[in-house]
């Protein structure tokens, strides 16, 4: 495996990454860096956690190095590289990484996203910057206000393009691309390389070269799964009981809806369990405060919807509780992707009402794990309902033998008040479809280890942004490659 010194990176960049503790390039970096340096368009199949930001960031900065200058004149610092991300948190994270890599280059970076005052962003743009990381909506707002000129962009990066697609951002992205010079380098990264992503790549990229890194399997073997059968109306009581009697700290609880998240947090507080809800209705500062309180242990339970939880940069979370089972098995995988990382043990408890039985079975099929049922005295249902939740045949082996039918189960529409905008009709959003990812067709192999850091992001949905029907999306929270930090 080549080292960083074999990748023809300039000393300014090597110095910065050495300081960051990067000693060896990750596989996506080995593959992408030479291509990006050569000016090639790249279609990258890699999820957050694989080191893809440096994979495109380092060569991108190197290509811009000739433009670096110390002039105070904004005209000498036009935007030359634009990185679009679907969410605010990812934008912030990517810019932070790029800023670190650019430390000794003299190139300026900044980030702009919705939910924050535009003025400081406008000031930064006016002063001039070479590398801009942005979410599409806020970027267009700045374009409209004429605080941003994109006519000198040389490199465009579309990060987590699958999520942009899912979230209905492609019309905005198309609008943005029309503002860029046609002669440019375009890099598109996506956790999954589905047919839709390839089509996007065909329309936005030019003779792109594809690079891809493998993803870790769905369910970490360090995660202990449990399903507790309970009547729907007793779930809240059971949750309080579990948190208190098992003395659970730092519990991330998932609900299906924002309303449900709010209500549950309120009720838990009433039960004496300090809880807060985090979802797309809350402002960005509110969410960051909630997250901080949770990380610092001031709040014991964080109640989240799937979309909101994508932005939570939390590692090694010991407990994830599914108050509502997710509608798609892939969301289950996303949810538990937060526990059991880096060898830490994690626990994923699902509170399962009789209505959710089918969903539980679909999850078991997908992750190829038979989730043990656990009965909690005092919270049982009548024996008929309970027996309906006990699997007739063990999952896993028998299903596997029948031949990888992980994707054949029916999918339901999500409830209307899920954590997404409802104002506009779905534009450019994919319909829920079975993911064509071969990972789900392969036999279950427990992951040997999990990535140390995996932060994805949450929705950047100002209410007016076009809504997208939630399409099935796979495993953005799953482990990427184990990164060596010496």
Q: Cα–chain-centroid distance for residue 465? A: 19
Task: Report the nearest approach of ligand AMP to the CB of residue 271 (Å).
Answer: 37
Task: Report the nearest approach of ligand AMP to the CB of residue 455 (Å).
Answer: 7
Nearer to ligand AMP, 85 or 473 (CB): 85
Binds ligand AMP by CB under 6 A, chosen from 426, 453, 462, 469: 453
Which window, 19-27, 72-80, 110-118, 279-287, contacts ligand AMP (CB under 6 A)?
19-27
Q: Binders of ligand AMP among 341-380, rule CB under 6 A?
A: none
Q: Binders of ligand AMP among 467-486, rule CB under 6 A?
A: 483, 485
Task: Report the nearest approach of ligand AMP to the CB of residue 360 (Å).
Answer: 31
Burial 325-361 (b: 16+ CB within 10 A, else e): bbbbbbbbbbbbbbbbbbeeebbbbbbbbbebbebbb
| Residue 86 found at the interface with ligand AMP (CB under 6 A) | no
Task: Report the nearest approach of ligand AMP to the CB of residue 189 (Å).
Answer: 9
Q: Strand 131-134 relative to strand 109-112: parallel, antiparallel, unpaired?
A: parallel
Binds ligand AMP by CB under 6 A, chosen from 27, 44, 51, 468: 51
Compute how many residues bind ligand AMP; rule: CB under 6 A: 16
| Residue 53 found at the interface with ligand AMP (CB under 6 A) | yes
Nearer to ligand AMP, 161 or 230 (CB): 161
| Residue 111 found at the interface with ligand AMP (CB under 6 A) | no
Binds ligand AMP by CB under 6 A, chosen from 30, 33, 36, 54: 54
Burial of 122 (0-12, 13-18, 19+ CB in 10 A): middle
Q: What is the DSSP string of 273-313?
A: --EEEE-TTS-HHHHHHHHHHHHTTS-SEEEE-HHHHTT--
d(CA 197, CA 309): 24
Nearer to ligand AMP, 25 or 468 (CB): 25
Q: Which helix (H) or strand (E) holds 172?
A: helix 170-178
Q: Pick from 128, 39, 116, 21: which is nearest to 77 by CA?
A: 128
Torsion of the alpha carbons at 86, 89, 92 and 93, rounded to the nearest 10 = -100
- Decide if 461 contacts 319 (C-beta within 8 A): no
Task: Report the nearest approach of ligand AMP to the CB of residue 192 (Å).
Answer: 15
Which window, 52-60, 331-339, 457-465, 470-478, contacts ligand AMP (CB under 6 A)?
52-60
Nearer to ligand AMP, 50 or 327 (CB): 50
Nearer to ligand AMP, 49 or 435 (CB): 49
| Residue 329 found at the interface with ligand AMP (CB under 6 A) | no
Beta bridge partners of 81: 131, 155
Beta bridge partners of 437: none
Burial 304-319 (b: 16+ CB within 10 A, else e): bbbbbbbbbbbbbbbb
Binds ligand AMP by CB under 6 A, chosen from 27, 49, 137, 168: 49
Binds ligand AMP by CB under 6 A, chosen from 31, 48, 62, 257: 48
Q: Cα–chain-centroid distance for residue 112? A: 18
Task: Report the nearest approach of ligand AMP to the CB of residue 456 (Å).
Answer: 9
| Residue 337 found at the interface with ligand AMP (CB under 6 A) | no
Binds ligand AMP by CB under 6 A, chosen from 25, 27, 329, 479: 25
Binds ligand AMP by CB under 6 A, chosen from 52, 335, 414, 470: 52
Task: Report the nearest approach of ligand AMP to the CB of residue 454 (Å).
Answer: 7
- Decide if 324 contacts 288 (C-beta within 8 A): no
- Decide if 309 contacts 396 (C-beta within 8 A): no
By three-state DSSP, how is residue 475 classified? coil
Residue 278 φ then ψ, to 5°: -135, 120
Task: Report the nearest approach of ligand AMP to the CB of residue 40 (Å).
Answer: 20
Nearer to ligand AMP, 255 or 456 (CB): 456
- Decide if 342 contacts 451 (C-beta within 8 A): yes
d(CA 38, CA 383): 66
| Residue 32 found at the interface with ligand AMP (CB under 6 A) | no
- Decide if 187 contacts 158 (C-beta within 8 A): yes
Which window, 23-31, 316-324, 330-338, 396-404, contacts ligand AMP (CB under 6 A)?
23-31
By three-state DSSP, how is residue 226 classified? strand
Binds ligand AMP by CB under 6 A, chosen from 12, 13, 16, 22: 22
Q: Strand 42-45 relative to strand 185-190: parallel, antiparallel, unpaired?
A: parallel
Give contact residues for ligand AMP (rule: CB under 6 A). 22, 24-26, 29, 48-54, 97, 453, 483, 485
């Amino acid at each position: 495996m080549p080292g960083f010194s074999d990748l023809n990176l300039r000393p300014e960049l090597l110095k910065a990454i050495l300081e960051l503790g990067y000693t060896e390039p990750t596989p996506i970096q080995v593959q992408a860096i030479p291509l990006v340096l050569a000016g090639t368009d790249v279609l990258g199949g890699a999820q957050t956690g694989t080191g893809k930001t440096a994979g495109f960031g380092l060569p991108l900065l190197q290509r811009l190095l000739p433009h670096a200058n110390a002039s105070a004149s904004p005209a000498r610092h036009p935007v030359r590289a634009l990185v679009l991300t679907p969410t605010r948190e990812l934008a912030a994270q990517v810019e932070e990484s790029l800023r670190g890599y650019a430390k000794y280059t003299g190139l300026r970076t900044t980030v702009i996203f919705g939910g924050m005052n535009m003025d400081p962003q406008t000031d930064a743009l006016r002063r001039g910057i070479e590398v801009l990381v942005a979410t599409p909506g806020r970027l267009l707002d700045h374009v409209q206000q004429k605080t941003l000129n994109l006519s000198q962009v040389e490199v465009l990066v579309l990060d987590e393009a699958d999520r942009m697609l899912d979230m209905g951002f492609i019309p905005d992205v198309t609008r943005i691309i029309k503002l860029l010079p046609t002669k440019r380098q375009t890099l598109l990264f996506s956790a999954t390389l589905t047919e839709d992503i390839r089509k996007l790549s065909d329309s936005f990229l030019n003779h792109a070269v594809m690079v891809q890194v493998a993803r870790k399997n769905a369910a970490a073997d360090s995660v202990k799964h449990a399903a507790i059968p309970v009547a729907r109306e007793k779930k809240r009581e059971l949750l309080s009981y579990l948190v208190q009697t098992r003395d659970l700290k730092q519990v991330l609880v998932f609900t299906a809806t924002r309303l449900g998240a709010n209500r549950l947090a309120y009720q838990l507080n009433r039960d004496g369990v300090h809880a807060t809800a985090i979802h797309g209705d809350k402002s960005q500062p509110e969410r960051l405060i909630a997250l901080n309180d949770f990380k610092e242990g001031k709040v014991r339970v964080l109640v989240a919807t799937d979309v909101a939880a994508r932005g939570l940069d939390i590692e090694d979370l010991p407990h994830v509780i599914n108050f509502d089972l997710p509608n798609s098995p892939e969301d289950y995988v996303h949810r538990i992707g937060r526990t059991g990382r880096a060898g830490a043990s994690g626990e994923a408890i699902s509170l399962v009402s009789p209505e959710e039985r089918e969903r539980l079975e679909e999850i078991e099929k997908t992750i190829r794990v038979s989730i043990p049922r656990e009965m909690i005295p005092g919270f049982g249902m009548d024996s008929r309902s309970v027996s309906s939740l006990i699997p007739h045949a063990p999952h896993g082996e028998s299903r596997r033998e029948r031949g990888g039918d992980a994707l054949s189960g029916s999918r339901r529409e999500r409830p209307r008040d899920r954590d997404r905008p409802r104002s506009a009709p779905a534009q450019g959003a994919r319909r829920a479809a079975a993911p064509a990812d071969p990972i789900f067709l392969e036999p279950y192999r427990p992951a040997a280890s999990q990535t140390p850091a995996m932060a994805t992001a949450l929705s950047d949905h100002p209410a007016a942004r076009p809504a997208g029907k939630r399409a099935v999306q796979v495993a953005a929270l799953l482990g990427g490659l184990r990164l060596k930090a010496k």
